[in-house]
Structure 1
Amino acid sequence: MTHNNIHTVLVANRGEIACRIIRTLKDQGVRSVAVYSDADADAPHVREADVAVHIGPSPARESYLVIDKIIDAARRTGADAIHPGYGFLAENAAFAGACADNGIVFMGPPASAIETMGDKISARAAVEARNVPTVPGISRPGLTDEEIIAAAPGIGFPVLIKPSAGGGGKGMHRIEDPASLPEALVTARREAKGAFGDDTLFLEHFVDTPRHIEVQVLADAYGNVVHLGERECSLQRRHQKVIEEAPSPLLDADTRTAIGEAACDAARSVGYVGAGTVEFIVPSARPGDFYFMEMNTRLQVEHPVTEMATGYDLVALQLAVARGEKLPITQDDVTLTGHSIEARVYAEDPANGFLPTGGRIARVVEPQGPGVRVDSGIADGSEISSLYDPMLMKVIVHGADRTEALSRLDRALANTVVAGVGVNTDFCRFLINVPEVVAGDLHTGLLDEVVGDYQVSDVPDDALVAAAMVWLAERWPDKPGSAWAVPDAWRLGRSASQRVRLAWDGGSSLVSLRGTPAGAEVTVHDVVAGLSDDEEAQATPRTVRATIHRDGEAWRVTADGLSRHWQIGATGAATEKLVSSDEGTWVLRQEKVARSAADEDTGGDGTLTSPMPGTVIALSAQAGATVAAGDAVLVVEAMKMEHVLRAPHDGVVAYHASAGDQVPAGKPLATVTPTDNS
């Protein structure tokens, strides 16, 4: 068997996965090469790599998805191997073939395995030949809409439309009502064609109260295949995972063994080599009746929970296999210890239909502590574009058991700060505290069932106190009374905290402050009548971590993962907090961000505006055509999410944008002028 000398690896990706791969390459003493588009010129993965190569304009189709540019960068930098990460070219058989043609090791499976598992129809046939169970359905090449519609009643509703190519939920639609199947097929084919260049579809029965459980597998070129246990990925929306954990709280030891063996058989069915994930759909009430769903022929986003539960570095194992070595572990070596949970931090607004957000990140604070890991691709100043995936980082924790892991994740998310761009950390905290989630009673529809109960958390009053103190320090850093102007009694070890008594909103607090204006730890003790300062300081405190930075003429306060706009030193009709100290009294006023026409999609005159920064991908009617209320008018896509803009009333359509246009949030895209009889 060939042994490959790998001294330099090019990482054909960006963001958090590129940073994570580079970290292991450094640990292994391997030179790393990053590639970057115009938008990523100053991205963290570029700064962390040993060498970085510019590969083109910002759109992925002109940079990260251009095989010739990636191969050229590898040849120019002397890369022995390419790690594709996930997404982009990670599951592109032509890319794997191009690496082989140029004498570059592809750190993934053979092109033949990618091709077979990349087509869900051929994947079903391959695993069925190894007696791996699959979901009832119809799957053969070239199925027409008419054939799918005719087969659906025999499969049994609800059914799930799935594209044969690709993954990540693109083109997947659950259908309850047979009458809605024809329109859904049209949409699914367009999505599949746009995302994967292939509009082939097939149909499966939708398993009732399903759980999404996947198994991590590793295989070498000598025929050795092992699994590293399973991951529970049932908390998802639009088929995009939000919370993942290992092991699954559903499976017992016998089922874990059986599903692991089935995953290994699925890998063997295509002569798999490298790291991969076999995904199963599992009925909640009958976990022993699991069904093969698909195989991802790459490293998964959620691989860190497996690493933390098993203690193995999957990228290091990928490197060993790529070098032509035998797997350094056997199945008997793999044990799951404790429990690990991961939350994906997305640039999105959960309070506004999870619409993508964007902009420049002003401040990032990563959580720390025992059992806490962060895989991140952002830093202070990072620009978040609608051109790429909305996932910014992953917060991963490990605990002795699931209860401890959930508690640690809650605390870690509370101490995650991404200021300047809206993120979903507050929603993730809500989700992991839902009673069903705490009990481990999960299914893939649970998030959609509970999302209506989510309410945005308010910034704690304690955070306002912190903001006022930081603001005072920045305005008058040398003014008596400013916490950072007071001698801090520096000593070896941690400096002493500063104490300031403040009155706010009719109450008062004794505040102990450590840190700097860019990152303050504020402990607030409520004033208790008759107690001295020392006695009050011994009472049960509340501690928050807060930052404050300028946001134009305003300020943005972030505390314990919650971010809001605040005007400091201003007055107005919005919610106000009066804060006073010996230096005077000032006002903190929360800016009420009213929903605009851009947020609502339509103005009163029938104008449809873009709800998010993105790309117009389809005009659903002809200019000048008459549409009925509720008809689709156009589709905007951003960060892998489609948003259909529909006619607010009967009328005639006029377009102000074309398919392919990149548009900002709030831009008028079409107008539906009422007809005389509407």
Structure 2
Amino acid sequence: MFDTVLVANRGEIAVRVIRTLRALGVRSVAVYSDADADARHVREVDTAVRIGPAPAAESYLSVERLLEAAARTGAQAVHPGYGFLAENAGFARACADAGLVFIGPPADAISLMGDKIRAKETVRAAGVPVVPGSSGSGLTDAELAAAAREIGMPVLLKPSAGGGGKGMRLVRDEGALADEIAAARREARASFGDDTLLVERWIDRPRHIEIQVLADHHGHVIHLGERECSLQRRHQKVIEEAPSVLLDEATRAAMGEAAVQAARSCGYAGAGTVEFIVPGGDPSSYYFMEMNTRLQVEHPVTELVTGVDLVEWQLRVAAGERLALTQDDIRLTGHAVEARICAEDPSRGFLPSGGTILRLREPQGDGVRTDSGLTEGTEVGSLYDPMLSKVIAYGPDRPTALRRLRAALAGTVTLGVQTNAGFLRRLLAHPAVVAGDLDTGLVEREVDGLLPEGVPEAVYEAAAALRLDGLTPRGDGWTDPFSVPNGWRLGGAAVPPAFDLRVPGLEPVTHRPLGTHTVTGDRVSVTLDGVRHTFHHAGGWLGRDGDAWHVRDHDPVAAALTGAAHGGADSLTAPMPGTVTVVKVAVGDEVSAGQSLLVVEAMKMEHVIAAPHAGTVTELDVAPGTTVAMDQVLAVVAPHEEQDAEAAR
């Protein structure tokens, strides 16, 4: 076993790897950018090395700086985690050239399986069934469009490099092919530095099932069963579980053997995942999609049902040990479900969010595990992936695991940044999810019913109660009765003061606290119509059952002046904190309603800013590369005079 290992990553996966290194008695080295100088993985590691400024290209993606950090700290091996350089064959080779062990598969296996086109050809030759699609690498836009038309709509555009759903585009309308191909190339280039695409037949209502494999450098390959990853949004997994309710023992064994053959076909070693797409109505008809040559985000569910520490075996295999496990040793016991907590706002179309973690409560124990990179005070920005943590629940059966995970999400508190915890809790209670009737389109179809309708009255009551409590004099001595904000007045009933409040993105309200309330520490409880509601609070944020609201004081005069300065509805504002990557117009340009004007990128997600109506661009306050804050004005489109006249009539 190694004496010192450098973890070339950040966030929750860095913390996760450090945990196993500590258990094995291996010294750990973390790296950090300027944005992560006080991050949790830096606090918990044995040694930490600064590797550059905040942008990933100048820090976590800098091979030179990572190797420098390894040399300075005497590291013998490098664990890449997932994301960043985890599936970069060039990085694996650079580690070997520097005398370091790359804790992952051989560079040739990464290169082969990282090219989805070559990967499909390789596993097909090994007898593994693959999804019908385009053949050949380096296809032009015209060739991709022709292949799509030959396959027949709908089709799925996929980057040949990378994974995680980045750059994937489902195209149902042939007329949209050109725009979708351009967008997919742009996102693939930004995420992986390679804009090569392929196109595959889209299978309606599919299930996404993946097999965990483990291989050593001595020719021994086994699988550790499957994970069901069908609950996705925009091709990004949000809930994963093991095992899948879809598979019987015969199908599980057949898919497991296919995954083993796929791993053998590329000379694999270490922990990896072979992903299959499975028609829900016929699980015996499964197709290879891709192989992820790294540890998966969802690896904890496999660990919980098998009892195998996958990170430990990554380390042991990299150190040259033989697998001590045979296929017969692998037993799937109980059930585990994982939820990915991401910095995103479900009420605003799941746009990335950011801010400072003001209050943090993460569940642990009693069949619940949280893998997290957060601490109170953590600054969540727009430069890195939006995933903050993972909450995993285990039980003797699926209903128990689901129930425990819903309860754990209800107890998750992350104030200061909007997250999807409340949304995931409701998703896990959906009848189709409870029944195990899943497919990759379920979340998108049901999303509207999983979002709360407006802000509950109890939220405004709690916010007003906190304002009222803040006005109440403190101290043990005499209190001037006229300083107590109890609403007392001569000759009339007591009426508490009213407060102007606003939740961003919604109309302001005037609320007068009429229920009873108590404020204790970081909690506020209010009783309305005989029902008691308890919230965590910090810095104007209120949280309950995984949901959170940022309730601000509203100044009508200031709001009116600010809105007038930019023409109100004519303004185009940033829907999220991020970076402007594309500007398609200039001041003076005539635009049509719905025309794409700019693209803002944050946390590896692109958002197109379109014209709200036909008109003329009268202001343009950004350029490619400009960093913007949420709700910052980007441009103004003045409507044509005839539109103004029509509106007046």
The TM-score normalised by the length of structure 2 is 0.87
Residues 217 and 460 of structure 1: CA distance in aligned 2, closer, same or farther (over 3 Å): farther
Question: 1:219 and 2:215 equivalent?
Answer: yes
CA distance in 2, matches of 1:440, 1:283: 14
Tell me the CA shift for residue 619 of structure 1. 1.6
Letter in 1 for 2:186: R
Question: 1:655 and 2:630 equivalent?
Answer: no
Question: 1:556 and 2:521 equivalent?
Answer: no
Query: Is residue 275–residue 297 contact of structure 1 (8 Å, CA) maintained in 2?
Result: yes
Tell me the CA shift for residue 525 of structure 1. 13
Tell me the CA shift for residue 135 of structure 1. 0.5
Residues 380 and 124 of structure 1: CA distance in aligned 2, closer, same or farther (over 3 Å): same
The TM-score normalised by the length of structure 1 is 0.83
Match in the other structure for 1:637: 601
Match in the other structure for 1:210: 206
CA distance in 2, matches of 1:255, 1:471: 62
Structure 2 gap segments, 5+ residues each: 478-511, 644-649
Aligned counterpart for 1:428 among listed residues 424, 430, 437: 424
Question: 1:517 and 2:502 equivalent?
Answer: no
Tell me the CA shift for residue 505 of structure 1. 7.4
CA distance in 2, matches of 1:622, 1:470: 45
Match in the other structure for 1:18: 14
Moved more, 119-128 or 648-657: 648-657
CA distance in 1, matches of 2:533, 2:92: 49
Match in the other structure for 2:633: 668
Q: Deviations over 1:315-350 (max 9, x none)?
A: 011111011000121111111111100111111110
Match in the other structure for 2:572: 608
Residues 452 and 523 of structure 1: CA distance in aligned 2, closer, same or farther (over 3 Å): closer
Question: 1:60 and 2:17 equivalent?
Answer: no
Residues 263 and 672 of structure 1: CA distance in aligned 2, closer, same or farther (over 3 Å): same
Structure 1 gap segments, 5+ residues each: 481-503, 528-541, 575-592
Residues 76 and 475 of structure 1: CA distance in aligned 2, closer, same or farther (over 3 Å): farther
Q: After TM superposition, list the pairs within 5 Å mapping 1:141-160 onto structure 2.
A: 141-160=137-156
Residues 333 and 350 of structure 1: CA distance in aligned 2, closer, same or farther (over 3 Å): same
Tell me the CA shift for residue 477 of structure 1. 7.8
CA distance in 2, matches of 1:312, 1:474: 55
SS of the residue corresponding to residue 24 of structure 1 reads helix
Q: Once the two structures are aligned, what percentage of the paired residues are identical? A: 57
Query: Is residue 544–residue 560 contact of structure 1 (8 Å, CA) maintained in 2?
Result: no
Match in the other structure for 2:583: 619
Tell me the CA shift for residue 670 of structure 1. 2.5
Tell me the CA shift for residue 546 of structure 1. 4.6
Question: 1:241 and 2:237 equivalent?
Answer: yes
Match in the other structure for 2:162: 166
Query: Is residue 96–residue 106 contact of structure 1 (8 Å, CA) maintained in 2?
Result: yes
Q: Deviations over 1:337-368 (max 9, x none)?
A: 11100111111110111111111110101113
Q: After TM superposition, list the pairs within 5 Å mapping 1:567-582 onto structure 2.
A: none
SS of the residue corresponding to residue 16 of structure 2 reads helix
Q: After TM superposition, list the pairs within 5 Å mapping 1:256-655 onto structure 2.
A: 256-456=252-452, 517-518=521-522, 546-549=535-538, 551=539, 555-565=540-550, 604=568, 606-621=570-585, 624-653=588-617, 655=620
Aligned length: 603
Q: Deviations over 1:479-517 (max 9, x none)?
A: 59xxxxxxxxxxxxxxxxxxxxxxx977779x9x9xx71
SS of the residue corresponding to residue 548 of structure 2 reads strand
Residues 470 and 624 of structure 1: CA distance in aligned 2, closer, same or farther (over 3 Å): closer
Match in the other structure for 1:577: none
CA distance in 2, matches of 1:104, 1:305: 30
Tell me the CA shift for residue 660 of structure 1. 1.3
SS of the residue corresponding to residue 137 of structure 1 reads coil
Tell me the CA shift for residue 197 of structure 1. 1.9
Q: Deviations over 1:201-239 (max 9, x none)?
A: 111100121111111111000011111111111111111
Tell me the CA shift for residue 28 of structure 1. 0.6
Tell me the CA shift for residue 607 of structure 1. 2.8
Tell me the CA shift for residue 665 of structure 1. 1.4
Tell me the CA shift for residue 145 of structure 1. 1.8
Q: Deviations over 1:130-184 (max 9, x none)?
A: 0111001112112122222222233121111111111122221111111111221
Letter in 2 for 1:339: H
Residues 7 and 565 of structure 1: CA distance in aligned 2, closer, same or farther (over 3 Å): same
Residues 405 and 544 of structure 1: CA distance in aligned 2, closer, same or farther (over 3 Å): farther
CA distance in 2, matches of 1:470, 1:317: 54
CA distance in 2, matches of 1:74, 1:153: 49
Aligned counterpart for 1:254 among listed residues 250, 253, 256: 250
Moved more, 177-186 or 71-80: 177-186
Match in the other structure for 1:91: 87
Query: Is residue 470–residue 548 contact of structure 1 (8 Å, CA) maintained in 2?
Result: no
Query: Is residue 99–residue 105 contact of structure 1 (8 Å, CA) maintained in 2?
Result: yes
Q: Deviations over 1:35-54 (max 9, x none)?
A: 00001000000000000000
Q: Deviations over 1:285-306 (max 9, x none)?
A: 0111111111111001111111
Tell me the CA shift for residue 661 of structure 1. 1.3
Tell me the CA shift for residue 562 of structure 1. 3.1
SS of the residue corresponding to residue 255 of structure 2 reads helix
CA distance in 1, matches of 2:99, 2:231: 41
Query: Is residue 364–residue 419 contact of structure 1 (8 Å, CA) maintained in 2?
Result: yes
When the two chains are superposed, the root-mean-square deviation of aligned CA atoms in Å is 3.0
CA distance in 2, matches of 1:42, 1:474: 35
Q: Deviations over 1:367-388 (max 9, x none)?
A: 1341000000011111000111
Residues 305 and 508 of structure 1: CA distance in aligned 2, closer, same or farther (over 3 Å): same
SS of the residue corresponding to residue 312 of structure 1 reads coil
Match in the other structure for 1:496: none
CA distance in 1, matches of 2:532, 2:407: 12
